[in-house]
Structure formats: C-alpha cells, structure tokens
A = this chain, B = another copy of it.
C-alpha cells in the first residue's frame, strides 16, 4: 500500500482542505492519505477552536485515512522546526510522498529556491541577521535577504505564507527524508490570512473562525464553506463542552502567570529573550484583554505570530530546557484516528516502525509525551464549566484512536 502525507491544522476542516485532499490523492496516486495534524495548540501560537479529537473526526469524515499528532514541541514552532517535525513523522510512518498547498504551485520552483539559498547559505543568513538587527521582523528580513540574492530563474515568491512553509518542507525533506517525493498544489482563492468571505465555496479558516465567533452572524452562511460533517462536529462540540476555545478564555490565566513571575522566571520560558519579559510584565497589569495585551507588547521587531507563540509557551509554562530536549527530532508517533484502510495499512507496517506508535497515553513513555500532556491539561482550562474541563482532561487520557468505519 502506497501512502502519501499532508501536514495540517484543520482549524476547522473546510472546503479548501477538501480540495487539497482530493488533489493530493489524484496527484500522488497513493492508496491512502496520512495527515500529520497539530494537537490542541497551533503554529500561530493559539488554541485550536476545538480539540484534536474533534478535528480528527473532521479529517476522517472527509476521507483522510490516518491522523497522527504533530507534537507540541514542533506544532507551536516557527516554520523551520514545524516542517522538520512534520516531514520526519510522515517519513517515519512510511509515506512515499507528501503534498502541500502553496501560492506558487510548482514543485520545481521550490526545489530551485531551496538550492539557491543552500548554495548561498552564509551570505543569506548574515543578511537576514543584519535586517533583523535593523529592527525588521524575521519574515520581512527573510523576504529582503532573498531579494538580495538577485538570482533569475524559476523561483517562488518568499513573501507568501504558504510558500514559506513549503520552502521549509522541501528543505526539511532534503535533510531528514531525501527519498520522500514532494508535490504541491495551488491553493484555491482564499489567502491564508483572509478574514472575509471572497469565493462562493472556499474561505480561509481565519474567516470561518471569525464567523463562528461573531454573535451577529448570519445563520448557516458558514455551511457554504465547510463540509456538513465539520458543521455537525463543531455544533456537537459546542454543546458538549459549552463553547469553543480561543485566546481570550485563557487570558485570566496568562495575566496571572505573567503578573506572578519574576523577569528571570519568564526568561526560562522558551523564546523569551531580549528583555521582552519586562514589557510583558508591565503590560499584563494594565491590559484588559488578551488582544489589548498583545497590542501593548507588539512592536515592529516582533510579528504578532511570534509574540503569540511566546504567550503560548508562557501559558503552558514550557521552558527552554524542556523544549530543547525535544525539538531535535520526534521520538514517538501518536495515533489520533484512522479508518479501515488506515488500520489495514498500520497492521501491515506496524512492526517496521522505528518510533513507538502511541495509541493510548496511559501506555506511553511519560517523559516523551510530557509537553503534550501538559498542553492538554492547560487546553482544558479554556472551557467554562468544571464538568467540561474534567471531561476534556479525562478524554486525553482515556480516548483510544478515533475509528471511522
């Protein structure tokens, strides 16, 4: 059986993801699709609106055959580490190829871009560093440094968010899994960050979440953009757990954590450096909400996403040493869900896996999965009722992989 892989967040699963999935199957000619999906917390440093279990159901309902978890140590990182973790896992679970969505849509342009940068590595890195010392954020510095290479040829536009991710997928593939074949397909209509509905059936996850949280929303508009299974799973989650997860729900905890920490304690947290801890402590006392806090801390030097990841690591109390022990390479594969095809595939290849396959937390090495366990504990605190918190916490421990017949 030939497997192909996708790297996803599905926050929530929508028609654009469905398109990607269909095209992935077609292009790769594989027998099954394996999704490496972020857990409760995401790359932009925010909580997923519903748990990884609910999002696994969405994926399986849409035709994904196996869902494995991208651990916290990779899922909440800048593109390079995020890509290294996800591509490694797809390779470890036996994928022969993987397919990502991008703005450019041609795999050779990605490969040429990676080659160009790798053969100019020193100049390029020095140039990024210089731009950052001038006060630019990392993405802006990277984009400028890339332009400076001034090469002609078939290159990608490195100012587009999905191209940046794709660039890192190819770079990671070259390093950790050279045999893994890469495909890319053009994303349909909606931009990654779009907040408004533009196309008749494809919308960004950002605009869908915005609609979900809008108290004055038009009923059912959202159904044009998401499969009916996604809609049902979202509604069911909202009723079962009393609401969706969003940063504002965690704000009282983050505020307390920052307020009660000394600057040196905050500096032990992953990514906290350069004095940002003082700015955060000061802002935590006057901010009236998470958004207000972020706006107070924000400066040209830091992207919103980077600050949000810092806030997330503070919230989950993830220290530099905890992260550094774990983000070199994944040490386990956590199975979140599968269908019959997926189960058949795993039965055949289980014995040849080099990493332990975790089906239930209770039988896992606690040191390995420590950060994911802690993330699940904290994620549950974003729910309003005690019963819902306890239920979600319990689910993390007792839930076997979701099975779709």
Residues of A at the B interface (CB closer than 8 Å) are: 252-253, 255-257, 259-261, 265, 285-286, 288-289, 315-317, 374, 377-378, 381, 386, 390, 393
Contacts and interface: CB of A to CB of B under 8 A. Distances in A.
A325 to B, nearest CB: 13
Contact of A381 (B252, B265, B377): B252
A371 to B, nearest CB: 11
Question: Chain A interface secondary structure, helix, strand, loop or mixed?
Answer: helix
Please state the number of chain copies in the assembly: 2
A366 to B, nearest CB: 12
20 contacts: A252-B253, A253-B253, A253-B256, A255-B381, A256-B256, A256-B378, A256-B381, A257-B257, A257-B260, A259-B374, A260-B315, A260-B316, A260-B317, A260-B377, A260-B378, A261-B317, A285-B393, A286-B390, A288-B386, A289-B386
A279 B212 CA distance: 40
Nearest to A251: B386
A285 B377 contact: yes
Top 8 closest pairs, chain A to chain B, by CB: A260-B317, A253-B256, A288-B386, A259-B377, A256-B381, A260-B378, A285-B393, A260-B316
Contacts of A377: 259-260, 285
A7 B252 CA distance: 35
A386 B257 CA distance: 16
A289 B306 CA distance: 35
A393 B259 CA distance: 11
